[in-house]
Amino acid sequence: MTRARRNRPGLGIERIVVEGYKSLRTRQEIEIRPLTVLAGVNSSGKSSAMQPLLLLKQTLETPYDPGPLQLSGPNVDVTEIEQVLARGPKRASTAQEFKFGVTIRDHSTEWTFGKDPSGDLRVRSMETAVIDRPKTGRKFRTVSLREGMTSSRLQDLFPELNQILKARPKKINLSFTVVRRRCFLLPGIRVDDMPVPIPIHTELASDQTQRELARAIHLPALRGNPRRTYRTVAVENEFPGTFDTYTAGVIAAWRSREETEQLERLRLDLQELRLTWKVEARKINDAEVELLVGRLPQPQRGGAWDLVNIADVGFGVSQTLPVVVTLLVAGPGQLVYLEQPEIHLHPRAQVAFANLLKRAVDRGVRVVVETHSSLLIRALQTLVARQELYTDDLILHWFSRDPRTGDTKIDTAELDHTGAFGDWPEDFVEVQLETEARYLDAAAEAARR
């Protein structure tokens, strides 16, 4: 029998929509569960599906107004929007815009980004669908905003604006307009030809959408080389840029705050992955900390003195430590996007990593994992079959590309109570079995020679 999902606080982001972005030329809707796995062959569109969300994240994190999108940043780095627009066959029309949407609880927001005739990047439109809950029942309401909308049109969309008109002093010339605030379009007041954004309609829920996008945590596949020292950071629940730069600072903050539970969980997780039995952040000065780790995977007598700089141990420790810390620092409802967390992990550690993901899900974290590891996927299936991971907590999306058009296609699989998900277009296990069979055939032929 399939087990029902447990009640989880802070659902966070539940669905994204991408259209016209790189190989995702046609509209693709991707459900985000507490644990979402993105898999597929290389260059099939897995990273592209998450990049629009990261573009919005780095736009909101920029300390100044960068315009509708901050194209060049730590999460996504391009120089012009044409580099991310979908391309198709010459005979196919390709729009000079892309769309991205996000659903959070009872509302969704969808943006259209493109260039105007002068060549400037614009938010062409922002559409928000909300659920009203009047006494008579529930119904959807959709509001679409564009720059240049007339005052009368905005009054039609938002009847409450008429109350502002009635309350204004007669000497003040007042009208309504659409104002851009970074990547958001908001209704605003124009007073004496000066547009000023005002929060006039709470059902647009732009504040909640902005909060969820900004607190998303991104850990890329390239996590840098191990260093002798790392900078200190102020640890909050938001981490601008990519998370790998915060790892040492977070551990140091846990130590200074005497958060022994977090430090013990970190130690146990690393030991479960057979990487090291201890990690310690030692303050060097007000700006730098040093990461020390145990040389051996298990504690030994006298091992407390057997700590070395992280740069002096295997590359796998420095690449995996940010992954483990990311899962521990994230809060309920917070989205964590991990790119290839299995890099540099031994096959046994890839299997054990499924347990770390499961514990994060149990705490209410929403994890999106982009992976090429068949062992990790099989370990997650095993957790479902053992009823340690709920079936509707996990969803798998397989990415492939049309060999003729290059367009990305996404196949979605839900696991049943045995952990099975049916046939995917290309199965990891099938490739592994074929490789094993070819080796056995070659070995048998060599033995006969």
Domains of the chain, first to last: 1-144+202-216+334-449 (3.40.50), 226-330 (no CATH)
The C-alpha atoms of residue 394 and residue 379 are separated, in whole angstroms, by: 12
Round to whole Å and give the CA distance between 46 and 69: 21
In the three-class reduction of DSSP (H, G, I as helix; E, B as strand; rest coil), residue 273 is classed as coil
For position 448, what pLDDT does the model report? 84
Grade residue 7 by pLDDT with cuts at 50, 70 and 90.
Answer: very low
- The phi, psi pair for 52, rounded to 5°, reads -60, -40
Residue 196's contacts (CB-CB under 8 Å, 6 or more residues apart) are 179, 188, 189, 190
Instruction: Out of 111-125, 144-158, 215-229, 411-425, pick the least confident.
Output: 411-425
pTM of the predicted protein model: 0.91
The Cβ of residue 326 has, within 10 Å, a number of other Cβ atoms equal to 25
Tens-place pLDDT, residues 166-215: 777 777 788 888 989 899 998 888 887 677 766 555 455 577 899 999 99
Identity of the amino acid at 15: R
Residue found under tokens 């996404």: 410
Query: Does pLDDT of 28 surpass 90?
Result: yes
Burial grade of 229 (CB within 10 A; 0-12, 13-18, 19 or more): middle
**C-alpha span between 155 and 176 (Å, rounded):** 8
In the prediction, which pLDDT does 207 show? 79
User: Looking at the predicted structure, is the pLDDT value of residue 303 above 70?
Assistant: no
CB 367 within 8 A of CB 35: yes
Sign of CA dihedral 371, 373, 377, 382: negative
Q: Is the pLDDT of residue 328 over 60?
A: yes
Q: How much is the pLDDT for 186?
A: 87
Distance of CA 35 to the CA centre of its chain: 11
Which residues have C-beta within 8 Å of that of residue 274, sequence separation ≥ 6? 297, 346, 348, 349, 352
Please compute the mean of the pLDDT values over residues 427-449 and round it to a whole number: 76
- Look up residue 1 and give its DSSP letter: -
